[in-house]
Amino acid sequence: MRLSRFFLPILRETPKEAEIASHRLMLRAGMIRQEAAGIYSFLPLGFRVLQKVCQIVREEQNRSGAIELLMPTIQSADLWRESGRYDAYGKEMLRIKDRHDRDMLYGPTNEEMITAIFRSYVRSYKDLPLNLYHIQWKFRDEVRPRFGLMRGREFLMKDAYSFDLDFEGAKHAYNRMFVAYLRTFARMGLRSIPMVAESGPIGGNLSHEFIILADTGESEVFCHSDYLGFDVPGPDVDFGNVATLQKIVDQWTSLYAATSDKHDEAAYAALSGDKRLSARGIEVGHIFYFGTKYSTPMKALVAGPDGVERPVHMGSYGIGPSRLVGAIIEAFHDEVGIKWPQPVAPFQVIILNLKQGGSDTDAACEQLYAALTAKGIDTLYHDLDERPGAKFATADLIGIPWQILVGPRSLAEGKIELKRRSDGLRELLSPTDALIRLSA
């Protein structure tokens, strides 16, 4: 992509409403635009990151055996009357009426709808286990939205719903998501720590929040520092193997880890001093087992091998991709801008032509741009007529992992400069060597 043909509205000054780093940087980098309190447009750069995040989430959901579908944002109130939540949910739910004066709502979550889908088609234990998920916009009319994408009213959520015949099956479904979540966040460069959680208004009694540590996190968390060193399961983990998954989950739940809501001062104090980790955290995922909370009132029944019908055991599993975009920035930035982990970066490489209009630099940039593009590497070519300093500032701000600096000084020796955004490491290389390096 040539910057001259892209839409990247960089802000030189920070809008006053942005307090935390991710919000400030997303606005400045032209990733998002606020439309109302807690409601944002994703501009092209931000949308690219959001799509990268969704794709990783999707791949790991699929790997674990979950199946993607897509439910609507607007739901009928009748569905929620069945579960009793239409009255219980409160003002967080955006309630609307259609032209026939029917009660509708903008979905804050989809337990009711997925249960209705399930009961329409599934009658037998032979169709289980089943895990259905979608990635769809949610609306929760938060009293006080804040921190940009971290706490929006409209937000993108991956929500998965598992269906099993009994608790044992549901436990394995829970473990599958547990392991998938560890992998999902790790692939984005994040170390997530599962913490014992309140089950909240969704209900249930087996629940973990996946927290990543960041100074600007909303919650105060306490955990054993060994969590930082645990191995994350590899891509070859056998999601069908009950014992294997249980072993992984047992390890990742063996040590103390809790948010301030569930904090047990005594248990924490019992840890040896050098293992105590007290920090701020951001909740990026939340998983629940809630048994038959919805299947019973909504009559989602399946026949077991004995022919007896019983309510299906369910769990729900959420990840907030739009929040993750903010969370990743909280974890990876410095004073001048974002430092995207490679897997979620909107572009892999940015070429900075330090003398736009110079025949040598232009030619070298065009060649690099063509070669990188041919190799399938997402490349942004900064081809605007700007001062080198402005280009450096832009590149650092938007945080593309690799910068290729093409200027007359190094080009005289047949070299370009390759700069890594994460640590500022610079190397003088021939364009050919740079290509090899970036293709690796």
Partner RNA sequence: CGGGGUAUAGCGCAGCCUGGUAGCGCGGCAGUUUUGGGUACUGCAGGUCGCAGGUUCAAAUCCUGCUGCCCCGACCA
B/e letters for 245-269, b = 16+ CB within 10 Å, e = fewer, are beebbeebeeebbbbeeebeeeebe
Cα angle for residues 28, 34, 37 (degrees, 5° grid): 135
Q: Which is nearer to RNA, 143 or 266 (CB)?
A: 143
Q: How far is the CB of 128 from RNA (least distance, A)?
A: 25
Q: CB–CB of 407/388 below 8 Å? A: yes
- Choosing from 8, 54, 56, 157, the residue that interacts with RNA (CB under 7 A) is 157
Only segment of 283-291, 339-347, 374-382, 432-440 that touches RNA (CB under 7 A): 283-291
Q: Binding string, 215-234, against RNA, x = CB under 7 A? A: ---xx---------------
Report the C-alpha gap between 212 and 280 in whole angstroms. Answer: 9
Report the C-alpha gap between 244 and 221 in whole angstroms. Answer: 28
38 binds RNA (CB under 7 A): yes
Q: Which is nearer to RNA, 266 or 425 (CB)?
A: 425
List the interface residues with RNA, window 188-217 (CB under 7 A): 198, 200-202, 209
Q: How far is the CB of 91 from RNA (least distance, A)?
A: 7
- Choosing from 2, 17, 68, 241, the residue that interacts with RNA (CB under 7 A) is 17
Report the C-alpha gap between 283 and 150 in whole angstroms. Answer: 9
Q: CB–CB of 147/217 below 8 Å? A: no
Q: Which is nearer to RNA, 128 or 325 (CB)?
A: 325
- Choosing from 314, 330, 394, 404, the residue that interacts with RNA (CB under 7 A) is 394
Q: How far is the CB of 136 from RNA (least distance, A)?
A: 12
- Choosing from 345, 397, 404, 438, the residue that interacts with RNA (CB under 7 A) is 397
C-alpha distances (whole Å) from 201 to each of 113, 117, 160, 181, 361 are 17, 22, 17, 22, 60
Q: Binding string, 327-366, against RNA, x = CB under 7 A? A: ---------x-----------------xxxx---------
- Choosing from 155, 181, 185, 289, the residue that interacts with RNA (CB under 7 A) is 155
| Contact partners, residue 192, CB within 8 Å, separation at least 6 | 181, 182, 185, 186, 210, 211, 212, 284, 285
Q: How far is the CB of 34 from RNA (least distance, A)?
A: 6
264 binds RNA (CB under 7 A): no
Q: Which is nearer to RNA, 129 or 399 (CB)?
A: 399
Q: Which is nearer to RNA, 124 or 430 (CB)?
A: 430
Helices (H) and strands (E) in the chain, counts: 13, 21
Cβ count within 10 A of residue 64: 25
94 binds RNA (CB under 7 A): no
Chain CA centroid to CA 403, Å: 25
Backbone Cα Rg of the chain: 24
Report the C-alpha gap between 162 and 152 in whole angstroms. Answer: 26
Q: Which is nearer to RNA, 163 or 185 (CB)?
A: 185
B/e letters for 405-424, b = 16+ CB within 10 Å, e = fewer, are bbbeebbeeebbbbbebeee
The contact set with RNA (CB under 7 A) reads: 10-17, 19, 34, 36-38, 91, 140, 142-147, 150-153, 155, 157, 198, 200-202, 209, 218-219, 283-286, 318-320, 322-323, 336, 354-357, 386-390, 392-394, 396-397, 405-411, 417, 419, 426
